[in-house]
Amino acid sequence: MDEPVLLTGAGGRVGQAILRHLGETFEWRLLDREPLSSAKLPAGVDTDDVFIADVTDDAAVRNVVDGCRAVIHLAGDPRPEAPWDSVLQNNIDGTQTMFEAAVETGVEKFAFASSNHAVGAYETDTRTPELYRPDDEFRLDGTELPRPSNLYGVSKATGEVLGRYYHDHHDLSVVNVRIGNLTEGHPPIDYERGQAMWLSYPDCAHLFERCVLAEYDYEIVYGISDNDRKYYSIDRAKEVLGYDPQDNSAEWNGDEHIDGER
Ligand SMILES: NC(=O)C1=CN([C@@H]2O[C@H](COP(=O)(O)OP(=O)(O)OC[C@H]3O[C@@H](n4cnc5c(N)ncnc54)[C@H](O)[C@@H]3O)[C@@H](O)[C@H]2O)C=CC1
Ligand SMILES: O=C1O[C@H](COP(=O)(O)O)[C@@H](O)[C@H](O)[C@H]1O
């Protein structure tokens, strides 16, 4: 049997999108600082696989990571308006603690939940709102330097650089997923930017599944569905990870799918 995959921040939105669709795909270890109700646990995961710990707690993290083949690191403060103290502790220190434990214990792959906010300042006044529309050809592809929107975005760019360091010096395979706007069921309504960077729950789960299964060195990819409106290229995620998204915000009229199929 394969060694387990550790999912941090398992009780949150991204964690639950992953577990809902991949609950039986891997052996899981789940970590969150908040207890997970039984409704949040997939079948086959019992309480021995669930660890209530803070990602800044070195000893607790090392104990949880030990024996895992891969880490999907989501835990952190997800608020674009989060203050520096919080992102410094939860996002930067917490991510460094996770990377350190991963290399100490021989983890092979590490997927980091980065964000659109690491590059939000590319959305300049002259580019918007045209950028959010299907006929606009501007694309970010992951090779560009970070241009954070806020201090939260700075913490995500820092996580990407931590990954670069742990890849170069410890040979850990690292993929940074700059997640767009994860919204359940249908794309955000009356929010062009959110529709351009929509990531559906099934596409989110599939993308992180590929992060566990694919072979790579150090990568930065965008995590959005195959939206007609887009200013993030998903070519690298397709090429390196084998990402094959099934959803597109253009297929929705508000909360109604245009085929009426969903
Ligand atoms: N939801 C979205 O659209 C996007 C999310 N992301 C990133 O994905 C990750 C997950 O985001 P969401 O699921 O939306 O957030 P969430 O707030 O729903 O879930 C985060 C989970 O992490 C846990 N957590 C927070 N700090 C922790 C710590 N210090 N130690 C242990 N557990 C801790 C929380 O208890 C929570 O269960 C975050 O890193 C966020 O920055 C990035 C871009 C978009
Ligand atoms: O990184 C994140 O991005 C999403 C989308 O950003 P928004 O500015 O369109 O809200 C955000 O909802 C999420 O909380 C955050 O973690």
- pLDDT more than 90, % of the chain: 95
Annotation marks residue 152 as catalytic: yes
249 annotated ligand-binding residue: no
Ligand 1 midpoint to CA 168 (Å): 26
Which atom in ligand 2 lies closest to the alpha carbon of residue 156? 1
* Lining residues, ligand 1, CB within 6 Å: 9, 11-15, 32-34, 54-56, 74-76, 78, 90, 94, 113, 115, 179, 181-182
Distance CA 258, CA 52 (A): 42
How many Å separate Cα 167 from the centre of its chain? 18
Predicted pLDDT at 23: 87
Q: Domain 5-250: state its class.
A: alpha beta
- pLDDT tens readout for residues 101-117: 999 999 999 999 999 99
Average pLDDT over residues 35-63: 95
H/E stretch holding 163 reads helix 151-170
Q: Which of 132, 152, 222, 243 is catalytic?
A: 152
Write the residue with the smallest CA distance to atom 10 of ligand 2.
181
Strand boundaries in the chain, DSSP class E: 5-8, 28-32, 50-52, 70-73, 109-115, 173-179, 181-182, 198-199, 218-223, 252-253, 256-257
236 vs 238: CA distance, rounded Å: 5
pTM: 0.98
Q: Residue 71 C-alpha to ligand 1 middle, in angstroms? A: 15
Quote the pLDDT of residue 165: 98
Between 1 and 198, whose confidence is greater?
Answer: 198
**SS3 for 113?**
strand
Summarised one tens digit per residue, pLDDT across range 12-22 is 999 999 999 99
Task: Give the model's pLDDT for residue 262.
Answer: 61
243 is in an annotated binding site: no
Give the model's pLDDT for residue 189: 97
Band of residue 2 on the pLDDT scale cut at 50, 70, 90: confident
Q: Is 90 annotated as a binding residue?
A: yes
**Span 218-238, pLDDT tens digits:** 999 999 999 999 999 999 999
Confidence tier at 44 by pLDDT (50, 70, 90): confident
Tokens of 55: 């990602």
Let me know: does 222 contact 178? Beta carbons within 8 Å: yes
Q: How far apart are CA 254 and CA 244, in angstroms?
A: 24
Pocket test for ligand 1, best of 8, 33, 96 (most atoms within 8 A of CB): 33
Q: Which of 13, 50, 199 to mutate to test the pocket of ligand 1 (most atoms within 8 A of CB)?
A: 13
Residue 93 CA to residue 259 CA, distance in Å, equals 46
Looking at the predicted structure, is the pLDDT value of residue 1 above 90?
Answer: no
Contacts of 48 (CB under 8 A, 6+ apart): none
Task: Reply yes or no on whether the pLDDT at 57 is more than 90.
Answer: yes
What is the Cα–Cα distance from 14 to 144, expressed in whole angstroms?
25
Query: For all residues of the chain together, what is the average pLDDT?
Result: 97
Domain ranges of the chain: 5-250
Predicted confidence at residue 153, as pLDDT, reads 98
Question: What is the sign of the dihedral through the CA atoms of 6, 10, 15 and 17?
Answer: positive
pLDDT 10s digits, 67-102: 999 999 999 999 999 999 999 999 999 999 999 999
Q: Which of 58, 100, 62, 93 is CA-nearest to residue 75? A: 93
- For a mutational test of ligand 2's pocket, the pick from 79, 117, 222, i.e. the residue with the most ligand atoms closer than 8 A to its C-beta, is 117
What interface predicted TM-score (ipTM) does this complex get? 0.99
